[in-house]
Structure 1
């Protein structure tokens, strides 16, 4: 996949460009369906499949409040690349870009600069200054400028079969701790990433379960509690148990994400790991003493092993 982060990098229009545009937060199954259509149509036309997204999120660039991102920039790029798209335009969004009119965006950027011959876009897509651009405008300008507008149906919610898959729905599931259900919409487990930092050295010495303490990189944090997880490290992939919260038994009111990696003895301080949230096991509990906590962790590890078989 070719990654373009500035329109000035484009020296000539792409051949038979098939384009989709969006924030693609989560790169969930709805987004994947759009990307797949773009790839298929690009192949049929002997052309180029292109996805366009923006950094930072347009709401943030305009100083407006926005929810925590499901996927930050690096993971979003990885996921879009894994879809098989030819080109990803990850363009800077600022107040100047927001002033581009919808007509200018279509004619000067999409058609002249990129060479768009087909656009595949969601039914609610709006764009341009004051967001006056919409599907109707795209179709009207397509007749004038010689491109086709395709608007696929929404991919339906697997639980209700009535609502569409949305980043909002996935975000709520993760924040409510339903990471196993979020997987149905993402097409993969929700993943948090972070750097392993020095902790309070209680896991191994006091509890008998050494932990990797993570400085969280992601914005969207699952509901506090204990989770069965898989862990991607520089030494390979392993099963584990993660605790997210304040470790109430110790009473120091410090937020931590601690991961016990099962049957793992390597030193991974200062390295980055990825933790796939498979299933929530329980709430955080304040125990009367460390022995009770250690016994519960032993049970958590056993349950996680059963889930992760």
Structure 2
């Protein structure tokens, strides 16, 4: 997938395109189906498949500090989009000038003049242009006027509810990470750099932990989780604590991952944490001994959970480490 950030780079380059457009926060199963449909339509008609999305998320510009935490930041969103086959991703900088464009002006400037769009496929609730004035009916009218076709994907439902970024966000924040995998087609994940913490895990407790520098915005409810830790395209069993470590009287939120049966120095390395199932709430213990005993129990529970077939993880082009499962 070619990523283009400036529409001028594509003018007079693409002979014809099939475009889908959206924010794609989470790249969930509804988004995946939309992208795959655009790709299949493009291939059938000899067109270039293009995904158009935005950075920053439009809500970040329009609402500023009143925005919810986003499921995927731009880097991860692009990585996920690429897995579903589009040839080009046009990543547009969203700003107030763009927000003021009428639907027809946006379509003409970016999709027709820039991408030579012949077909457009949108989600069931997609709106564009100033004040979200452009909807499916508006786009159909513009298509008739400017000679492009428009189709709309019906909602994708799982367990009798529409798959949406809001639904996923609510589940993650409530700690319900297990059902989220059905909506995303993968476990919910965060990525970050391993940094030095308080040096208590291995020294005091006998369970070394990787302290992750917080970059992502959306985190599960504080507590202990069974996780897969992805490092160098390998998956390791683990347990993670999200919270403030009340036993030690901390005030700052932290994410600490204990990688089961792993030895090695990974400070300064990036790891990805895939949340599989919540084990328990965060708790204040009476002291070090009680905490050590509970961590041992959590680790055993984590190993048991991750050993179940339904908890297996699929990594793209991954070689799996000992203790993980290759499917």
> Scaled by the length of structure 1, what TM-score is found?
0.96
1:244 is paired with a residue whose SS is strand
Determine which of 273, 276, 282 is the counterpart of 1:275: 273
Counterpart of 2:123 in structure 1 is: 122
Distance 2:132 2:262 in 1: 52
Shift of 1:235: 7.4
Q: How does 1:219-230 map to 2 (within 5 A)?
A: 219-230=217-228
Counterpart of 1:154 in structure 2 is: 155
The 8 Å contact of residues 189 and 278 in structure 1, kept in 2 or not, is answered as yes
Distance 2:256 2:132 in 1: 43
The C-alpha deviation readout for 1:151-189, integer Å capped at 9, x for no partner, is 121101x22x1x311000000000000011111101100
The 8 Å contact of residues 98 and 128 in structure 1, kept in 2 or not, is answered as yes
Shift of 1:255: 2.2
1:293 is paired with a residue whose SS is helix
> Does structure 1 residue 38 correspond to structure 2 residue 35?
no
The 8 Å contact of residues 16 and 115 in structure 2, kept in 1 or not, is answered as no
The 8 Å contact of residues 24 and 31 in structure 1, kept in 2 or not, is answered as yes
The 8 Å contact of residues 73 and 216 in structure 2, kept in 1 or not, is answered as yes
Q: How does 1:1-309 map to 2 (within 5 A)?
A: 1-64=1-64, 65-156=66-157, 158-159=158-159, 161=160, 163-234=161-232, 236-309=234-307
Distance 1:81 1:241 in 2: 29
Q: Paired residues, what number?
A: 306
Distance 1:108 1:257 in 2: 44
> Scaled by the length of structure 2, what TM-score is found?
0.91
Q: Give 5+ residue unaligned stretches, structure 2.
A: 308-327
The C-alpha deviation readout for 1:252-308, integer Å capped at 9, x for no partner, is 333221110011111011111110001100001111121111111111111111111
Note the aligned Cα RMSD (angstroms): 1.2
Residues 235 and 172 from structure 1, CA distance in 2 versus in 1: closer, same or farther, beyond 3 angstroms? Answer: closer
Distance 2:104 2:167 in 1: 32
Which segments of structure 1 move beyond 3 Å, counting only runs of 4 or more? none
The C-alpha deviation readout for 1:234-266, integer Å capped at 9, x for no partner, is 373211000000111122333221110011111
1:291 is paired with a residue whose SS is helix
Shift of 1:107: 2.3
Shift of 1:123: 2.2
1:263 is paired with a residue whose SS is coil
The 8 Å contact of residues 16 and 45 in structure 1, kept in 2 or not, is answered as no
Shift of 1:63: 4.2
Shift of 1:62: 2.7
The C-alpha deviation readout for 1:24-82, integer Å capped at 9, x for no partner, is 00000000010010011011011111110011111212344211110000000000001
Residues 13 and 102 from structure 1, CA distance in 2 versus in 1: closer, same or farther, beyond 3 angstroms? Answer: farther
